[in-house]
């Protein structure tokens, strides 16, 4: 067995970590992680959050995905957070994620939706705003649905809904006719969903368009003409590998013509 | 003299679970409505071939049956003590129930692969990663525990 010689976590921030790498955390003298606390104890302030791609192992963290290690220093409400920024194209359903799905089957009261995961998600016909047993939503096989996961874990079939917890649609539901659906990597989606994303701002100065981003790597675009739609699709797909300068160059050329 | 043809069955008769018997089973798959299990032991005798059982969502707990979530009670791979409530018809499985304090999950593994420690009737904790998981934990009688 390999001796787990850990590296201090702070030293690895911004560097590549591989699955199995042990990262040591600075020891806190007042933290007694071995003793399991019984009874209700509020989460101590300053507790470190172990984010995606990491797992607690003994006194430190073990990486379970390969990628760059990121750190958010302590501040505000909670303590600091460590996570691994990894790149992947295959989506794994997570509860609460908003995704774009394609309806593949209609069986009685349930729709089967392809979300790009290992299983088809189920969508009840009552999970739309204003849907009742008499007033069914008009969903056909092949329609695009923007919804969020109510149930998503590795042991059960994922369940999609198109309403939020208060019963309102809040932007979810059947995506309209026309437009173009394509797939990108999950890392690009996260970049596009960041607040004040430069790519979206620059593109919106080019042409007006409608955009739906699904956390499962799917993007739906609709602009006034087919040509404009395809141009936006090509730019978004190329954003994966273009630097900011190359992108600005490409957009300048397009708005010039 | 005519040859004699005879059919020989297995040496010992299989012990069949009866209604009201406490059985030890392993969860093989879960669903939003029920959990499917393999029955391994009847009482303390192991079975030569496993039987299939079903634990319905409303039979998991005795109280607050409508608030039960199967995902927060069992996971695939858990070892569960249950009681047989019905033999079912020809095609269906045994119907089991864990609606008692002494019934429920006895052994469960966490995502890290380590056996978890029960901390309450509805929670178990992994000793290595300290993550808490929800299970319907059985309060095993002290005479059946071996340390």
Strands A144-151, A110-114: pairing is unpaired
Lowest average pLDDT, out of A84-88, A222-226, B78-82, B100-104, goes to: A84-88
Residue A39: per-residue pLDDT: 41
**From the CB of residue A249, how many other CB atoms can be counted at a distance below 10 Å?**
12
Lowest average pLDDT, out of A54-63, A100-109, A113-122, goes to: A54-63
Q: Do domains A1-26+48-86 and A97-174 have the same CATH topology?
A: yes
The CATH label, of 3.40.50.1970, 3.40.50.620, 2.40.50.100, 3.40.50.2000, for the domain at A1-26+48-86 is 2.40.50.100
The pTM for the full model equals 0.79
A204 to A197, A249, A255: CA distances (angstroms): 11, 16, 11
Task: Write the residue in B30, B125, B128 that is nearest to A156 by C-beta.
Answer: B30
Distance CA A27, CA A43 (A): 18
Provide the residue ranges of all domains of chain A, joining segments of one domain with +. Answer: 1-26+48-86, 97-174, 180-255
State whether residue B125 sits within 8 Å of chain A by CB. Answer: yes
What average pLDDT does chain A have?
85
**Do the Cβ atoms of A24 and A69 come closer than 8 Å?**
no
**pLDDT at residue A46 above 60?**
no
State whether residue A81 sits within 8 Å of chain B by CB. Answer: no
**Do the Cβ atoms of A82 and A70 come closer than 8 Å?**
yes
**Do the Cβ atoms of A174 and A144 come closer than 8 Å?**
yes
Strands A22-24, A7-8: pairing is parallel
For residue A58, list chain B residues with Cβ-Cβ distance below 8 A: 128
Distance CA B9, CA A145 (A): 58
**pLDDT at residue A1 above 70?**
no
Task: Write the residue in A55, A151, A155 that is nearest to B129 by C-beta.
Answer: A55
**pLDDT at residue A14 above 90?**
no
For residue A55, list chain B residues with Cβ-Cβ distance below 8 A: 111-112, 129
Residues in chain A: 257
Lowest average pLDDT, out of A80-94, A175-189, A205-219, goes to: A80-94
Task: Write the residue in A36, A56, A156 that is nearest to B32 by C-beta.
Answer: A156
What single DSSP character describes residue B57? G
State whether residue B119 sits within 8 Å of chain A by CB. Answer: yes
Strands A7-8, A16-17: pairing is unpaired
Tell me the helix, strand and coil percentages in chain B, rounded to 5. Answer: 10, 40, 55
State whether residue A43 sits within 8 Å of chain B by CB. Answer: no
Distance CA B100, CA B87 (A): 19
More confident call, A236 vs A25 = A236
Task: Write the residue in B70, B130, B131 that is nearest to A33 by C-beta.
Answer: B130
Provide the residue ranges of all domains of chain B, joining segments of one domain with +. Answer: 21-142
What CATH architecture is A180-255?
A: 2-Layer Sandwich (3.30)
Q: Please name every residue paired with A93 in a beta bridge, in sequence order, or none if there are none.
A: none
Residue B77: per-residue pLDDT: 94
Which of B27, B28, B32, B36 should one mutate to test binding to chain A, selecting the residue with the greatest count of A CBs within 10 A? B32
State whether residue B131 sits within 8 Å of chain A by CB. Answer: yes
Residue A257: per-residue pLDDT: 62
A143-174: per-residue pLDDT in tens? 999 999 998 988 899 999 999 988 888 899 99
Distance CA B145, CA A102 (A): 52
**pLDDT at residue A121 above 90?**
yes
Residue A77: per-residue pLDDT: 62
**Do the Cβ atoms of A120 and A159 come closer than 8 Å?**
no
The CATH label, of 2.40.50.140, 3.40.50.300, 2.30.110.10, 3.30.70.270, for the domain at B21-142 is 2.40.50.140
What CATH architecture is A97-174?
A: Beta Barrel (2.40)
B3-31: per-residue pLDDT in tens? 999 888 776 667 888 899 999 999 999 98
Cα of first residue to Cα of last residue in chain A, in angstroms, is 63
Distance CA A104, CA A91 (A): 18
């Amino acid at each position: 067995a390999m001796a787990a010689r850990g590296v201090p976590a702070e030293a690895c921030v911004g560097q590549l970590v591989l699955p199995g790498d042990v990262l040591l955390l600075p020891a806190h003298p007042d933290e007694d992680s071995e003793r399991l606390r019984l009874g209700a104890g509020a989460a101590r302030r300053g507790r470190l959050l172990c984010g995606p791609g990491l797992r607690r192992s003994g006194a430190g963290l073990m990486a379970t995905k390969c990628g760059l290690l990121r750190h958010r220093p302590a501040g505000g409400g909670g303590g600091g957070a460590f996570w691994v920024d990894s790149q992947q194209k295959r989506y794994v359903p997570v509860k609460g994620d908003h995704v774009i799905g394609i309806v593949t089957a209609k069986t009685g009261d349930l729709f089967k939706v392809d979300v790009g995961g290992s299983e088809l998600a189920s969508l009840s016909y009552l999970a739309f705003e204003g849907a009742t047993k008499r007033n069914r939503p008009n969903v056909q096989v092949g329609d695009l649905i923007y919804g969020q996961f109510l149930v998503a874990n590795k042991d059960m079939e994922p369940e999609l809904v198109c309403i939020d917890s208060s019963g309102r649609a809040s932007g979810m539901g059947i995506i309209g006719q026309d437009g173009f659906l394509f797939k990108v990597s999950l890392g690009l989606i996260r970049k596009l969903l960041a607040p004040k994303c430069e790519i979206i701002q620059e593109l919106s100065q080019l042409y007006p368009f409608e955009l739906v981003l699904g956390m499962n790597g799917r993007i739906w675009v609709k602009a006034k003409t087919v040509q404009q739609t395809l141009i936006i699709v090509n730019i978004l797909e190329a954003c994966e590998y273009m630097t900011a300068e190359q992108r600005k160059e490409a957009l300048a050329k397009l708005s010039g013509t | 003299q005519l040859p004699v043809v005879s059919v020989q069955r297995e040496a010992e008769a299989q012990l069949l679970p009866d209604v009201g018997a406490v059985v030890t089973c392993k969860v093989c798959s879960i669903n939003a409505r029920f959990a499917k299990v393999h029955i391994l032991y009847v009482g303390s005798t192991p079975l030569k071939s496993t039987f299939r059982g079903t634990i319905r969502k409303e039979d998991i707990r005795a109280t607050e049956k409508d608030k039960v979530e199967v995902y927060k009670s069992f996971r695939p791979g858990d070892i569960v003590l249950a009681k047989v409530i019905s033999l079912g018809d020809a095609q269906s499985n045994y119907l089991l129930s864990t609606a008692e304090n002494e019934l429920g999950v006895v052994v469960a593994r966490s995502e890290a692969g380590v056996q978890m420690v029960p901390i309450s009737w509805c929670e178990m904790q992994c000793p290595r990663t300290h993550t808490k998981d929800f299970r319907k934990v059985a309060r095993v009688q002290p005479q059946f525990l071996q340390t």
